[in-house]
Structure formats: structure tokens, C-alpha cells
Amino acid sequence: MIDQIKNLARHSSIYTVSTFMQRALGFIMLPIYTDPSYLASKSQYGDLALVYTFTAFMNFVYLYGMDSAILRYFFLGKFKQKDVYSTGFRGVVANAVFLSIVLYLFAPQLGRVVFGGTHYALLIRLSAGILFFDSIGNLPYLILRAEERSILYSSFRVGRFILELILNILFVVVWHKGVIGILYANLIASFINLIALLPFQMHYLGGNWRRDIFKTLLLFGLPILPNGIAYLTVEVSDKYLMRLLLNKDLLGLYSANYKFGSLLLLVVIAFRNAWQPFFLKIAKQPDAKRIYARVLTYFTLVGTVVVILGSFTIDYLVRLPLPGGKTLMGRMYWGGTKIIPIILVSYLFYGLYVNFTVGIYIRKKTKYMVLFTGLAALVNVLSNLYLMPHYGIMGAAFATLFSYLVMALSIFIANQKIYYIPYEYSRIGFILIYLTLVLTVYYAVHPGVLLRLVIIVVSPLLFVALRFFRREEWTALSKMLKRT
């Protein structure tokens, strides 16, 4: 069991690097994006946040669950892998062409809905191009995931990151194109990414388009579409509602700090990329459920470490001095750091949700996933409508936390009914109780540097002293250290 979990951890760690690089652009460019010399106001950063909100939402519509369907039927052996990929690929291309034309033609109207004015039409049209290239260009990554070619997967992600970083510097820093420049950089990088990955999918594109396969993929993938839209409602509705209920300045403040809170999301996405192929592959093993249970314990522990480290260091990290008198995040954004621990915990619960999807996939009950995300979306919208006018950005952060908590609890209850897994409740409970106590200290005491360091150092020692780790875990760790 330990060896299999180590294999999962190896692939997850590689995916973590690639996922971080894929999304690191927003972090690395944050000193620029939050500098008034390049984006003149928090309102402009709010516009950028709305662009990301729109493209994230539309990305699900462009793929309409076809990516998950391709990955699933790639493994099952029911159809030829070439036919599965080729059929799904053509379905995505046709949909991407149609949607991009619609977005281009109705850009002024959509600009009014998303940003509040028809003069934002160019942002919509650039987004349409990005969505077109990304939806098609991301499909070859499914092949690399299915074949567990995580190093090659990461290499392409890192390559795209470097390219987009260079283009961002040119468009934003050198040519001062602002938000428009950021989108042009993204568009060019998306196109080059699509071209670069063509050789790795040509073999599979030689398959036949089959109506029966397309129908099978649709039956699996379409129920995921409402689920994806509901999840995106949880993820991005706070930004859109903040434009309506508060203002773009607060949206910019909230979004810049939210980005730090989403650091744990990078870990969750990387884990998810390795997790789904892993649990499907070992599903028929006699000890599969024990492995799933142990993975949840380890994930909860790692996620908690990230939450504690992030929460107790972020106030100093954002003030980190950089050359040219700049800081890691512009001074006018520092007032929003209080939301970061709440967002980190929110993504910890999202990670638990990802763990709990095992039974839903194995029992082919994906059509029920929309119930869990739909309930969370409803909680999110209602919570934001009430909390945001009363508590501002803190209200939005707590609405996010409540939503992910509901999402995790609801799928956990359902999963245990259809595919019971003997999770290690005492160990997980200990981790979550300790995290609650530590965050209570953070918000109630407002600890200084010394107390923060003490908590960070003492936390792992406490877990060791209370014998949290088992003998076989120490043995496995000892073997790993000897090999290094």
C-alpha cells in the first residue's frame, strides 16, 4: 500500500510543479499587476478578475464534460483508445468553433453583462480566442495524464509558463498595454501551446469518429457540465456579485489577496490530476479502499500544513521588498490579507471533496455530482447576497468557506452510502481540530512574529509527540531517507 501511495505522491508532486508553473504567472506578475504604474487602480485589477471569472466559467461550456469522458473511456477498454480520443477531440473542436463565433458576434452585449459597459467588447473577443485555443490545446494533456507521462506533461506546462511570462513582460511592462496586453499575451501563448502539442496527439487523431462512442461520451460528460457550472458558481460568483453589490475597487483588493489564498488550490489541482487515474486503476484491488482511506489522511495533513504556513507568514510575504522600491504585493492591497486564511481553509475542504469523488466515479454515479455542487452554489450565492453587503470582503470569504464545506460534507455522505470507505476518522479529526485551534489563535490573538514562529515550529513536533504517525509510516520514511 505504501509503495502505491508513494507512486501517487510522485506523480502528484510532478503535477504540483507543473500546476504551480501554469498558474504562477498571476503570482509572479502580482508586483506588476498591483503597481499603479501598470494597472492604474484596483478597479483595473477588478476588470482582470472579471476576465478570469468569465473565461473560467466559459471553459466548462467549451469542454462540456468531454475531457472527463475521454479520460474515463480511455482506460476502460470498451472502445479503441484512438477512436475514443479522435471522437471526443472532434466534438470539442466543433463546439469551440460555434461558441467562439457567438462570443465574437455578441461581444458588446456580453461586455455590458460581465463588465458593465459595451466598450469592453475587445476583452470578450480576446477571451473567445483564448477559450478556443485552450479548449483544444488542453486535450493532448489528457493523453499525457492517461499514460502517466507526468514529466513530459510538466515540461509543456513549464514551457507555456515561460512563454507567457515573457509575453506579459513585453505587453505590460515594456509596452504598457494593461489588461488588454495581458490578454494578448495569453492568446499568443495559447496558440503556440496548441501547435507544440500536435505531434503528441497525431497517433490518436488517426482514429475513427464513431457515433456510438460520441453518444457514450456525451452520456458521461454532459451530466458533468451542470456540475462544472455549479462549481464555477462557487468559485467565481463572489467576484461578479462584488461588482454589483460593492465596487470594482474592493473587487480588485479581494481578488489580489484571494490569489494568495488559492495557493492550496494549486496543490489540490495537482493532486486531482494524479488522483483520478490512480483510483480508477487500482479500483479492483482487494486493498483499494484501505489505500483510499490512507490517502485522505495524508492529503488532510499536507493541506493543513499549507494552511498553517500560509496563514502565519502571508502578512510578511506580501510586504517582501523587491528591487525598484516595489513589494511582492502593492501597498494599497495589503488591507485584504485577512481573507487569506479563510480562502486557504476553503480549498482544503475542496481537496476533501476531490478525495470523496472515488465512489461517484467507480459506481458511475457522476450524474449526482451536480446535486452536491448545486447545493454549494446555492449556499454561495445566498451567503454572498447576505454577507457581502454587511461584512464586505470578509463576508465573501466566509461565503466561499461555507460553500466548500457544504460541498465536501454532502458528497461524503453520499459516497459512504454507495461505496463505503473506512476512513481514519480519529486521525483526520485530530488534524482538523488542531487546525481550528491554530486559526482561532490567529484571528483572536493577532500573534506577532515570535508566536507565529513558535506555532510553525511546534506544530510538527506536537504531532510526533502525540504519536500521530504509525510504525509502518516511520519505516517507509526511513527507507526513503536512506535512498536519498
Residue-wise pLDDT tens digits, 244-263? 999 999 999 999 999 999 98
Closest CA to 22 of 261, 266, 195, 231: 266
Taking residues 3-17, report their average pLDDT: 62
| Percent over 70 (pLDDT), the chain | 92
Helix, strand, coil percentages (3-state) for the chain, rounded to 5, are 85, 0, 15
pLDDT at 8: 61
Residue 443 phi, psi dihedral angles, 5° rounding: -85, -30
* Whole-number Å distance between alpha carbons of 8 and 12: 6
- The answer to whether residue 481 scores a pLDDT higher than 60 is no
For the cut 60, the answer to whether the pLDDT of residue 11 exceeds it is no
- Please compute the mean of the pLDDT values over residues 424-431 and round it to a whole number: 94
pLDDT tens sequence across 378-407: 999 999 999 999 999 999 999 999 999 999
Tens digits of per-residue pLDDT, 34-54?
988 898 788 999 999 999 999
The three-point CA angle 259-397-405 to 5° equals 105
For residue 476, what pLDDT is reported? Answer: 59
pLDDT in tens, 264-282: 998 898 888 778 878 888 8
What's the pLDDT score for residue 206? 81
Residue ranges of E strands in 386-446: none
CA–CA separation, 391 vs 401, rounded Å? 14
At 53-86, the pLDDT tens digits run: 999 889 989 999 899 888 888 867 677 888 889 9
Total Cβ atoms within 10 A of residue 399: 26
Write down the pLDDT at residue 237: 93
Using one digit for the tens of pLDDT, what is the confidence trace for 289-301? 999 999 999 999 9
Confidence of residue 423 (pLDDT cuts 50, 70, 90): very high
Residue 121 is predicted with a pLDDT of 95
